[in-house]
Structure 1
Amino acid sequence: MKLTKISLALCLAMTGQQLAHADDSTERLTVWGSQIADTSTHIDQQTMAQLGKTNVAQALSVIPGVSLQKSGNRNELQVKVRGFDSRQVPVFYDGIPIYIPYDGNLDLGRFLSSDLDTVEVSKGYTSMLQGPNQMGGAINLSTHKPEKPLEATVAYHQGFTRNKSNAYDAHLALAMSNKQGYLQLSGSRLKQDYLGLPYGTDNPVAGSDGKMVNSAADDKRAIIKAGITPNASDEYNVTYLKQDGYKQNPPYSGNGKQKSHYWQWPDYDKESYYYQGSTQLDDGLTLKSRLYHDVFANTLMIYNSRMALARQKGFYSRYDDFSNGAALQLTADVAQADQLSFAFHWKEDVHREKDAPDAAYDRYRDQTLSLAGEYQWAMAPQWDAVAGVSYDRRKSLEGMQHEKDNGITRYDDNRQHAFNWQAMVKYHVNPSDSLALSLSERSRFPTLKERYTTSKPSTGQVALVNPQLSPERAKALDITYSGLVNDAWSYEASLYYNRVQDAILAINIDANTLQNRNSGRVDYHGVDVGLKGDVSDMLQLGLSYSYTHANVKRQEIGEITGLPKQMANIWLTLSPWDTLKLTLAQEMRASSYSNSDGSQLAAGFAVTRLQADYQLLEQLNLNLAVNNLFDRQYQYAEGFLEQGRNFWLGIEYRL
């Protein structure tokens, strides 16, 4: 269904502020860039919990300009940022890049939000000091940093659907801090036995007895974070993160010609080790450093029928990938409020895959280097400016594939390079309000999959490799006004225009053959609006609205998938007493295409959530939540149903 006129009128009438402003601190280890360049928007832990956003993808979808995308059979939750997909908007964990080396995609539904402080998005000016490939912006997930001598959290939530328990969510964290440093230990688990179907769903393919078939999932994560603060200016920390996942994907149950498959991932695991440091070398001279090792392991089983699923006879695929990286940033205070920064990044990605448990691995290895500079300039009392440039280079160090005739194909080395620039001018209307204008031209390197894929299973075509693909490029214009109406209300509104050139497309050579080539162009323009504040002493309101229009300039691209023209999130929190909070949240989304030929259309929808939080004791909280309150049948991707009405009962203790 389409968004109602009333909803749109409300969204437009409240032209205003984003959900939250980014941290003003210039000493954060996680995101590199000057203070003026930080135009990111974030969702904090309190808002994520209040709106029931248990994973990163759900949390990001509340931010204006960000649309949740569900990739069909892969059952991966991803996002688009103003039309840019996950390959064009890299994801960082505490500033460390964690995208998948092979195809650049990452299932953000596997990343639990319970031990994150913030989830933030840069949509306009995005500092190149953070690293390469930020063509469409950047996403950063920040873990908690202890600030009190002792902190502890214990939480447990039980899920129910159709009057039966079907899931649970548990979280435990312990942290301590003093002047010399800090230590944090945390563990989380979200286990789902099955998803519940909406009442009245008559679809034998999707499931029966109220249970969605092939819909189990189990995600576990542990984090150890230790930091040393030897003085007021320096900080050094190490983090270990272990994430084990298991997931299934319900089959396609729509009205299209797409065949129903049953996909399962016995392993969707990630393991990360990283070090970060900040050292003040002299007055006004700071050196920041990073070193990391990131591992990704993925086993996929595809069953083409219920019978094959029962017999466990299917297609096997295994990825064993890892990345090593290091980075340095040097920042100098040039004048009273001016800064000059330089950053160097080195990253090596290794992808290994095989299609049988006893087969040999195909192996691919890339090396990426980036050198960036940024200058922050206080032009006048009410005027600031910042400009950045970078030079990025990617070199293929290895490309080796085993063939069916037992031969080995070795691809010639190849390399790509890109020059990027951007600038922003900010006018401070008053101490709380500002108007910012930014221009940029940024790039994104082609993935290993785009360069070396040899088939397209969805069409049965053979793909010719193209190791010499060039980077995609995007020119962007952003105008953002943000500020405070008064002490109780904040707002932000943005207008933007993005032009993507040299877009990588699969071009048909003949009926049986295709090849990825730099041959596409897409223009995106739109509006982002956000508002948050107190209606009264007892009532708070939050709102985000997005309008995104995609103008495809080449016919081969077809329709842009997973991108609704309009999206809105509205929530109200009523606090009749200090101990009770009632939150009503509404997500609204216009229709979107699920495939590029436009034959599959996911209808628009509006879905409602209700949550009650009761503070039983000072540190003990009880909560009850109802998702999909009216038991609507809705879909992000046509033919892949979302869960019907479900309940969560929880208890949380915080020290």
Structure 2
Amino acid sequence: MKKKVLFLSVLSSVLLADTYELGQVNIKTNINDINIFEEQITEDSISQQNSFTINDALDSISGINQDLQGGRGESTLYIRGFDARRIGVFIDGIPISVPYDGNFDYARFLTGDISQIDVSKGYSSVAFGANTMGGVVNIVSKKPTKTLEGNLKATLVLDSDAKVARHIESLNVGTRQENFYAQLSAAYSKQDHYRISDEFEGTSTQPAGERLRSENEDKKVSFKVGYVADDASEIALNYANQKGQKQQPPVADTEYAKNKNWDWPYWDKETISVTGQKNFESSYLKALAYYDKSKNSLYSYDDSTFTTMNTGKAWKSRYDDYSYGARLEYGLELSTNLLTLAANYKKDVHRGYDISKTDDSATLQERYEDHTISLGIEDSYTISKDFELLAGISYDTRKADDIYDTTTAYQDMLEKTTQHSVNPQAALIYTIDDSSKLRASVVSKTYMPTMKDRYSRKLGTAVPNPDLKSEHSLQYELSYTKRVNNLLGQINGFYTRVDDAIQSVVWDQNSSLKQNQNVGTFNHIGLELELTYKTNDLEVGGNYTYLKVKNTKDESVKLVDVPKHQLFLFAEQKFLEDFSLYGDMKFRNGAYEQKLDYSYVTNPSMTVFDIKATYKPIDSLTTEIGIKNLTDELIRYDMEYPMAGREFFASLEYTF
């Protein structure tokens, strides 16, 4: 074999890096000099931008914007206008969104144990399985390469009054002993509060200054043990346990949302998995099995004192959800083809409990179970030295296995249903010369409605609709990448049409209630520009995103929280060998917000600057001081939930 199996050469090379390659799920191509399909955030980039959480790390990528789902107390992301439910989120290839609603709180996950984050915004590997219409985020953990290695890092955050607001600590230690390796990671974050920008004048529910009820705590421990054979075949066992709790800040502007006196006593997650890859002369077989458990509790109180639960609007509840599944992937290298076959199985179980306000006993209120099967095949075909054709297709099916609900209303509507989808995709890559590539792709993808989409009554304001169909999207993209010495640039243009979009509309049998129905059609049109210049001492770069999302069925209905324009710029200059200065700027404009009266307004533009200085007195010790939100800009992803103003931070990291 002329390449001696591309997959094996990749595996061999990553043994010299600290990326856990078994956790990667990538499109196989013969092009490896310029990123074609997956955009990567490295550990160095995360450290450079001082991204404490995953949402912060991803917010600097073109086509991605950060948001806050205030009523849920969750930080979330949009990719090219698609919300988190339509994005496949994975850690080391394991799907981790909550089974009931498909959401994922990005702010609960710290970045201390991350080696890299791979992002696919359009064309993505069929090996990920179903529900990747909006893109894929795969968070890849660390893996040791030396006899003993690791790091210990501590960060202190002060608010604009120089009061301690937050501290974050992380530890990574690993060892590689001939064919065996082991990695242990731990992280802890405690936020006492944050202070809103001085531009915020205060309201009846939120005074100026410190944000009310903005405390949260997160802690995580994970480990992996693995064995690598002489032919680079590998097997590993992974375990992660995460515990968190968060408060629910009050609505700061009651024109946009009703105030909720909510509290989240715990937000816990536990994952165990085993994964391995067996390499043959010209092929490989990769297998993954996992169990992922999500548990959280939500309390609603009588009033803002958070002391009593006597009224009808006060309650206690908890979710006890879990998923288990497996993936099997087979790759084969032929003379001109790189062929991949994949199969995924995933079982999702949701259990919702009502907790007694007197003795804390729990009563099962609802239990829903689904299983999803996905079969896919993709191929990379080398037409000539200048052209490569990629094509793939998957078949996905989701079946409702069980529906149990103690609420008597609309019981006759709760039927077990099945959704099916076929998702073809193709891309053509043209190598113009050694430094430039042109890519064109067409992708058809679907979004299968979640349990919440189908069954939720939204606290008595809606009726279920288990007959919801899948949303269908057709995505076109044209991309050009060029490298000139130290300069790398890329331009992406895309158009997406989404049919059968799920929207909440007035129920035809009772105008006082709503129901989710497949009634929407949306067009997503956008442009992404990326540019980076890097030398040994200087790095400058950034990206710009233009995005327009239009409801073609009803232009009066807008997509909220997605900016029309977004700009990210950064620069880092090294002085001597041990000192550097870094700064970045984020700008967003044109995001719609909706008031309680259903009218729309445009969220004010935001321009945020961060700066920091880094000093390394010795190779193993790094010290940093900096300022986030230098100008104390009033940050409001949602108008009713103002974010932190100016903050000062200092960090110390020891590496061994």
Task: Give the TM-score normalised by the residue count of structure 2.
Answer: 0.91
Judged with a 3 Å threshold, the aligned counterparts in structure 2 of structure 1 residues 173 and 537 are, in CA distance, closer, same or farther, namely closer
Structure 2 match to 1:646: 647
3-state DSSP class of the match of 1:325? strand
* 1:474 corresponds to: 473
Partner residue, 1:354: 353
The answer as to 2:158 corresponding to 1:157 is no
The one-letter amino acid of 2:422's match is: F
- Paired with 1:300 and 1:214, the residues of 2 have a C-alpha distance of 15
- Counterpart in 2 of 1:322? 322
Q: 1:111 aligns with which of 109, 112, 127?
A: 109
Match of 1:372 in 2: 376
- CA drift of 1:26 comes to 6.5
**Identity rate, percent:** 28
1:258 and 2:257 are equivalent in the alignment: yes
Given the alignment of the two structures, is residue 521 of structure 1 paired with residue 521 of structure 2, yes or no? yes
Matched, 1:311 2:314: no
Between the aligned partners of 1:79 and 1:25, the Cα distance in structure 2 is 31
**Deviation for aligned residue 1:628:** 1.1
Tell me which residue corresponds to 2:403. 399
- Written as runs of structure 1 = structure 2, the 5 A alignment for 1:25-424 is 25=10, 28-36=21-29, 39-161=37-159, 162-199=161-198, 201-205=200-204, 207-208=206-207, 210-254=209-253, 256=255, 258-280=257-279, 282-303=280-301, 305-307=303-305, 309-311=306-308, 314-335=314-335, 337-357=336-356, 358-403=362-407, 411-424=414-427
The 8 Å contact of residues 226 and 234 in structure 2, kept in 1 or not, is answered as yes
Deviations 1:87-140 (A, max 9, x none): 111101111111111111111111111110112210121111221111122111
Aligned ranges 1:573-592 → 2 under 5 Å? 573-592=572-591
5+ residue gaps, structure 2: 1-8, 13-20, 357-361
Contact 2:502 2:518 survives alignment (8 Å) = yes
> Does the 8 Å CA contact 1:403/1:409 hold for their aligned counterparts?
no
Aligned to 1:14: none
Contact 1:251 1:262 in 2 (8 A): yes
Match of 1:4 in 2: none
Change (3 A) 1:581 1:304: farther
Q: Which amino acid aligns with 1:444?
A: Y
Measured against aligned partners, the alpha-carbon deviations of 1:139-166 in whole angstroms (never above 9, x if no partner) come to 1100011122211201111111112112
Q: Deviations over 1:554-598 (max 9, x none)?
A: 228711011000111111112122211111111111031233844
* 1:490 matched to 2:488: yes
Please say if residues 246 and 268 of structure 1, whose CA atoms lie closer than 8 Å, have aligned partners that are also in contact.
yes
Displacement of 1:190: 1.1
User: Once the 2 structures are TM-superposed, how far is the Cα of residue 226 of structure 1 from its aligned partner?
Assistant: 1.2
2:437 equivalent to 1:437: no
Q: Distance in 2 between matches of 1:390 and 1:259?
A: 43
In 2 relative to 1, CA 186–235 (structure 1 residues): closer, same or farther, beyond 3 Å?
Answer: same
Q: Which amino acid aligns with 1:182?
A: Y
Q: Is the 8 A contact 2:79 2:121 kept in 1?
A: yes
- Residue 30 of structure 1 aligns with an amino acid whose one-letter code is G
In the other structure, the counterpart of 1:615 is 616
Moved more, 360-369 or 250-259: 250-259
Q: Which residue identity is paired with 1:230?
A: A
Query: Who is 1:452 aligned against?
Result: 455
Structure 1 residues 480 and 209: alpha-carbon distance in aligned structure 2, compared to 1, 3 A threshold = closer
Q: Which amino acid aligns with 1:311?
A: T
Inter-partner Cα distance in structure 1 for 2:471 and 2:450 = 11
SS at match of 2:86: coil
- Structure 2 distance, partners of 1:428, 1:554, is 40
The 3 A distance-change label for structure 1 pair 165 and 618 is: same
Distance apart, 1:412 and its partner CA: 2.9
Q: Is the 8 A contact 1:603 1:634 kept in 2?
A: no
Q: How far, CA to CA, are the matches of 1:145 and 1:505 in structure 2?
A: 43
Q: Give the secondary-structure state (helix, strand or coil) at the position aligned to 1:109.
A: helix
Quote the Cα distance in structure 1 between the aligned partners of 2:478 and 2:11.
23
Contact 1:261 1:304 in 2 (8 A): no
Distance, in Å, in 1 between the alignment partners of 2:208 and 2:491 is 46
- 8 A contact 1:136–1:474 mirrored in 2: no
Q: Which residue of 2 aligns with 1:563?
A: 562
Query: Given residue 481 of structure 2, which amino acid in structure 1 is its aligned partner?
Result: S
Query: How much does 1:394 deviate?
Result: 0.6
Structure 2 residue matching 1:73: 3-state secondary structure = helix
TM-score by length of 1: 0.91
- The answer for unaligned runs of 5 or more in structure 1 is 1-23
Which structure would you say has the larger RCO, counting Cα contacts within 8 Å and 6 or more residues apart? 1
Return the alpha-carbon distance in structure 2 between the equivalents of residues 34 and 178 of structure 1.
Answer: 31
Q: What secondary structure sits across from 1:87 in the alignment?
A: helix
Q: Distance in 2 between matches of 1:630 and 1:489?
A: 30
Q: How does 1:541-560 map to 2 (within 5 A)?
A: 541-555=540-554, 558-560=557-559
CA distance in 1, matches of 2:497, 2:640: 31
User: What are the Cα deviations for residues 40-72 of structure 1, in whole angstroms up to 9, with x where unaligned?
Assistant: 101111111211211111111111000111112
Distance 1:606 1:167, change over 3 A: same
SS at match of 2:103: coil
* Separation in structure 2 between the aligned mates of residue 57 and residue 139 of structure 1, nearest angstrom: 11
Relative to structure 1, is the Cα distance of residues 572 and 192 closer, same or farther in structure 2, using a 3 angstrom cutoff? same
1:196 deviation in Å? 1.1
SS in 1 for 2:363: coil
1:179 shift after superposition: 3.3
What amino acid sits opposite 2:633 in the alignment?
R
Letter in 2 for 1:445: M
Question: Do the aligned partners of 1:466 and 1:516 also contact (CA within 8 Å) in 2?
Answer: yes
Q: CA shift at 1:206, angstroms?
A: 5.6
User: For each residue in 1:594-633, what CA deviation from the matched residue of structure 2 results, as whole angstroms up to 9, or x when unmatched?
Assistant: 3384435421110111111110211011111211111121
1:625 alignment partner in structure 2: 626
CA 1:25 to 1:548, structure 2 compared with 1: closer, same or farther past 3 Å?
A: farther
> 1:232: Cα distance to partner?
2.7
State the match for 2:5 in structure 1: none
Residue 246 of structure 1 and its aligned partner are, at CA, apart by: 0.7
Question: What is the letter of the counterpart of residue 320 of structure 2?
Answer: D
How far, CA to CA, are the matches of 1:200 and 1:382 in structure 2? 55
The 1:438/1:257 distance shift into structure 2, 3 A limit, reads closer
